[in-house]
Structure 1
Amino acid sequence: MNIKGSIALVTGANRGLGLAFTKALLAGGASKVYATARDPSAITVPGVVPIKLDVTDPADVAAVADRLGDVNLLFNNAGAAVRAPLLGSRAEEELRMLLDVNLFGVLLTTRAFAPVLARNGGGAVVNMLSALSWITQPGTGAYAATKAAAWALTNGLRIELKAQKTQVTGVHVGLIDTDMAAGSPVELARVSPQFVAETVLQGIEAGQEEVLVDGTAKAVKAGFNADVPLYVAVSSAR
């Protein structure tokens, strides 16, 4: 999948990593970049096309997909996070909210744009996951659960979209230096949104189905092979 000449749509593009993706795509020679957000007035990058999109609203997603028939590169970047105990009084409410964005939002947008991608030669879908798809740290239980589900969803979508020659890439990374990570209880080195975006675009062009952006993601995946897998060892140590 070539970035140069592509027509991309980025969800959650008004700030943080989504904003970095839009800039990296333009710098990489994308012909057009649709930048979406619930409030498109917050999108101010010159050269992008602001689009109103709520990834949790099926009608909204379907309407945008009907309008944008030229997309061949879809970035499922929109995400939400809360830091609360899984057994807290509001746990079910918070988990459902996270699932709406982090899981069902990815499903809705991918399902809506799959026919568009097929008509345009297959293209690619990029799902922003996390090192927390594979491991849970204190205070991240609900978020990690939704990212683990999104990882499984990504693997299933890859199988179902193979016949139409759509590349599906899952991206795993530790902490990104964005507003979403502010106040995170997890003590890890942070990487810049720009570095993440550039690394992901390189992975897409190389045809990678999985991109491990930083040392955190690589170490967590490698930890699966330990005698006591890392996802068990971390919880046992607490």
Structure 2
Amino acid sequence: MDIAGSVALVTGSNRGIGRRFALELLERGATKVYATARRPELVDLEGVVTLPLDITDQASVDAAAAAAGDVTLLVNNAGVSSQGSLLTDDLASARRAVDTHLWGTLAMIRAFAPVIERNGGGAVVNVLSALSWFAAPGAGGYAAAKAAEWNMTNAVRPELLARGISVQGLHLGAADTDMMAGYDGPMLDPADVARAALDGVERGVSEVLADDWSRLVKDSLAHEPEWLAARLG
């Protein structure tokens, strides 16, 4: 689909990758960009339409779909971090990750698929992670949530394609955002992530791997788990 002339809604637009998505959409000529957040007053972008949205609250999702009835492009970016051991720590954080990344993202797709279809078709972008395909120490809950979101993305793709809606899974390693504060390693510019994803939307690409790290991790799926561990040293 063409970004120019589209009407987009981006979840988690108040910072990080979501904010860069909203900016890139405006720069590419989107007719309207709905910038959503649980606290929309924190969205500091000119030229967008702000909406309150908590993707884990069905009433909030339904209200957003009713308010943004002209959407043709949905960018599911909202997320939460989750730290701790799945074996020994409290599971509240892991459950919140699954509720957000899997069930919250699916709630958005279910609510907006009829909207996009009524408007002649379009696209959905799900912001995933290299952690869809491996688990880092202390991030088991987040990894499990992203793995579930990845396969959910694959599951809805053929159904939505038949309704004129393409579905992209966007994978990346670390990006220079608030969520990654304190991370000691190479990080992507969020603007580059948004550009890669929207380039993929315009080409109709089902999966975008935004960096070498996500490409390496996906390659590891053809090997035993020890293959990746050996390359990480």
CA contact (8 A) 2:220 2:228 kept: no
Which consecutive residues of structure 2, in runs of 5 or more, have no partner in the other structure?
none
Counterpart of 1:44?
44
Give distance in 2, aligned partners of 1:123 and 1:12. Answer: 20
Shift of 1:234: 2.5
TM superposition outliers: structure 1 runs of 4+ over 4 Å? none
Give distance in 2, aligned partners of 1:19 and 1:155. Answer: 25
Counterpart of 1:205?
202
Give distance in 2, aligned partners of 1:89 and 1:136. Answer: 16
Shift of 1:223: 1.9
**Does residue 130 of the first structure (1) align with residue 141 of the second (2)?**
no
SS at match of 1:99: helix
CA contact (8 A) 1:13 1:37 kept: yes
Give distance in 1, aligned partners of 2:9 and 2:228. Answer: 39
**Structure 1 residues 65-107: Cα deviation after superposition (integer angstroms, max 9, x where no partner):** 01211000000000001221111231x2111111111111101
**Structure 1 residues 118-140: Cα deviation after superposition (integer angstroms, max 9, x where no partner):** 10111100000000000111111
Aligned length: 233
Give distance in 1, aligned partners of 2:82 and 2:71. Answer: 31
- Mean alpha-carbon deviation: is it higher for 92-101 or for 123-132? 92-101
Give distance in 1, aligned partners of 2:16 and 2:174. Answer: 12
Shift of 1:225: 2.6
Give distance in 1, aligned partners of 2:9 and 2:61. Answer: 12
Give distance in 2, aligned partners of 1:137 and 1:100. Answer: 20
Query: Match for 2:187 among 185, 190, 204?
Result: 190
Give distance in 1, aligned partners of 2:133 and 2:228. Answer: 12
Give distance in 1, aligned partners of 2:200 and 2:160. Answer: 18
SS at match of 2:125: strand
Give distance in 2, aligned partners of 1:54 and 1:152. Answer: 22
CA contact (8 A) 1:137 1:234 kept: no
Counterpart of 1:55?
55
**Structure 1 residues 176-230: Cα deviation after superposition (integer angstroms, max 9, x where no partner):** 110101134xx5421010110111111111110000000101111122233x346
Counterpart of 1:167?
166
CA contact (8 A) 2:95 2:141 kept: no
The residue identity in structure 2 corresponding to 1:201 is L
Superposition TM-score, scaled by structure 2 size: 0.95
Counterpart of 1:177?
176
The residue identity in structure 2 corresponding to 1:28 is R
- Mean alpha-carbon deviation: is it higher for 98-107 or for 4-13? 98-107
SS at match of 1:71: coil
**Does residue 153 of the first structure (1) align with residue 152 of the second (2)?**
yes
SS at match of 1:85: coil
